A and B are shown apart, each in its own frame.
Chain A
Amino acid sequence: MNAVVSWARRATLFVGFIFLYAPIVILAVMSFNASRLVSVWGGFSTKWYAALLENEQLLHSAKISLAAALTSATIATFLGLLAAISLTRFGRFRTRFLFFGAVHAPLVLPEVVLGLALLTCFVAFGVGRGFITLVIGHVTLTMCFTTVAILAALRDSDPALEEAAMDLGATPLGAFVRVALPQIAPAIVTAYLLAFTLSLDDLVIASFATGPGATTLPMRIYSQVRLGVSPQINAISTLLLALVAVALGLAALVSSRRARRDGQVVTSLARAPDNAS
């Protein structure tokens, strides 16, 4: 009985992960297909990658997307940190309900609605659309995610530690920077990466918020993809997937190292009484 159950579980995991990863792997394999057709394997080739390097439009868009992601993630993380501090350290202040709701609302708002609202606003106030409005759109989209990520960490960190620092003469700012900030640093990094990837990936908000001259990579990919499968898009997709895979691999490595180091600290602490006796 137990053997059957454990085999069923293994099979479920196997099928589940195949479903999650097969389409991505097939896409990556296809990017090395010399043939233009999906159904024909024309031999191994890296010519689509070479073609990418000559596609000025695509490279320009990639630069814009990268710049927008770096800028908007930085602003969104900073604003998210301030919002999370306000929600965890300021008690029940007067407009907390409104603030809480407005900060979290974009999480559940369809992107089409947020994009439409932003574009309407830019047009109504005569703001020319371009890189700056693109960044504004992405900060508004990602700020709720950074707030939530940092909020969870700030809730876990004990305010009593900061109070102790202040009793010992630290200013509120000094106490926060030297006591709370080191504790929530991993959450801030996660928030930044989350905002960065969301911005890099976003199509809908960008289509509404950006203007001519600031076409993002997803917008270029999208307009190509609407025309059908394209080997060059396979190649750039594979590059982006590889980038994420490497970043995730590094993150996993760092966190497992840290876990091991912390584990050693814990075990050495646990052994300390033995050594003393």
Chain B
Amino acid sequence: MRRAQRRRRMSVRRRLSLGERLVIAAPYLWIGAFFLAPMALIAKISVSQSVLARPPYRPIFEFSDSLADIWAKAQTFTFEAYRALVSDTLYLESYLSSLTIAAVSTLITLIIAYPFALAMARAPERLRPLLMGLAAAPFWTSFLIRVYAWIALLKDEGLINNALMALGLITAPLQMFATTGAVVVGIVYSYLPFMLLPLYAALERQDPSLREAAADLGASPAQAFLRVTLPLSREGVVAGALLVFIPAVGEFVIPDLLGGSETLMIGRTLWNDFFSNHDWPAASAAAIVLVAVLMIPLLLWERARLADEADAG
């Protein structure tokens, strides 16, 4: 029975015509050569031995290998790099601290972005395109420059410390630059537009009459917000949180420019292992694990979305 179903589903899939193949060939070859093949290669290197050479790993398979060679060499597979990932506390700490920093930053971004997006969505209709444009504009400006701008603000002799001292609120400069807190500020600032736009989209398309109905039925504005507006914006909250959380986990520029030496993030650890320590198997294994970790929230989201669709259908 199930097999028959599967066959029916397979039969829906069709072969491409010659013209269609010509169209799809270019993008297919490109992602095959420059995305799938490189990813397969680092998966391979991650189970190779680290050696002092260039390239700094011992290749496992050659194109000339026979099947017997491949089998013999498969015995030399080493999960050393993965074992090192678990035993080396640097990596474990980097993963955990990346996830924590990304989660905290995502939460703060959400707390800042929600009222902001709500105010945009409830603004007079003719103003909304302008507000939306202003919120999206930083997305088009250089990420590096926006992170850099914070150095001048956060440094010991920077503008925030100077302003606070001039107001007499503090007597000695606060250490803000080169701390984990600065990294969180940098992530919140840089990724705010990514949270704002999906939230705004979700809030703007809500029918105002729903809130009016809640009010007519005796709900206070706070109740109407908690029981109507907030649940209906769930999709925007989830999309925005993923758009901030996922890139933040692998972030390199922000921890490197704003963080201190004690701020561990996996993107930075990976970069250092690759460029400074030349430990390619370790960096490759760390990259593979990072991709696997990031797949989890995406798969959960996809499953929730499919469940929603099933409910709706």
Contacts and interface: CB of A to CB of B under 8 A. Distances in A.
A18 to B, nearest CB: 11
A136 B151 CA distance: 32
Interface in A160-215: 172-173, 197, 200-201, 203-204
B141 A24 contact: yes
B42 A116 contact: yes
Interface in A98-126: 99, 102-103, 105-106, 108-114, 116-121, 123-124
B145 A240 contact: yes
Contact of B144 (A90, A143, A203, A248): A203
A248 B251 CA distance: 27
Contacts, number: 230
A245 B140 CA distance: 9
Contacts of A116: 42, 270, 274, 283-284, 287
Nearest to A225: B148
A27 B145 contact: yes
Interface in B186-220: 189, 192-193
A126 B35 CA distance: 17
B199 to A, nearest CB: 12
Contact of A143 (B30, B137, B274, B283): B30
Interface in B225-259: 246-247, 249-253, 256-257
Contact of A140 (B35, B246, B283, B294): B35
Interface residues of A, number: 82
Interface stretch (B66-74, B85-93, B111-119, B303-311): B111-119
Which secondary structure dominates where chain A touches chain B? helix
Interface residues of B, number: 84
Contact of A96 (B13, B23, B36): B13
Contact of B41 (A105, A109, A121): A121
Interface string A208-252: 000000000010011001101100010001001100110110001
Contacts of B152: 26-27, 30, 38, 229
Interface string B20-43: 100110111011101111110110
A186 B44 CA distance: 42
A244 B246 CA distance: 26
B271 interface: yes
Contacts of B257: 225-226
Specify which of B24, B131, B135, B146 lies most central, judged by the most chain A CB atoms within 10 Å of its CB.
Answer: B24
Nearest to B297: A108
Contacts of A92: 12-14
A86 interface: yes
A52 interface: no
A247 to B, nearest CB: 8
Nearest to A122: B38
Contacts of B162: 39
Contact of B146 (A23, A118, A143, A173): A23
Interface of B: 12-16, 19-20, 23-24, 26-28, 30-32, 34-39, 41-42, 45, 54-55, 59, 112, 115-116, 118-120, 122-123, 131, 133-135, 137-138, 140-146, 148-153, 155, 157-159, 162, 189, 192-193, 221, 246-247, 249-253, 256-257, 267, 270-271, 274, 280, 283-284, 287, 290-291, 294, 298
15 contacts: A17-B134, A39-B162, A79-B27, A93-B15, A108-B294, A113-B290, A119-B274, A120-B41, A120-B42, A121-B34, A139-B34, A143-B30, A204-B253, A222-B144, A244-B137
Interface of A: 1, 5, 8-10, 12-13, 16-17, 19-21, 23-24, 26-27, 30, 37-39, 78-80, 82-83, 85-86, 90-94, 96, 99, 102-103, 105-106, 108-114, 116-121, 123-124, 136-137, 139-140, 143, 147, 172-173, 197, 200-201, 203-204, 218, 221-222, 225-226, 228-229, 233, 237, 240-241, 244-245, 247-248, 252
Please provide the 6 A-B residue pairs with the shortest distance between their CB atoms, ordered closest to farther: A110-B250, A117-B38, A121-B38, A83-B27, A23-B149, A16-B116
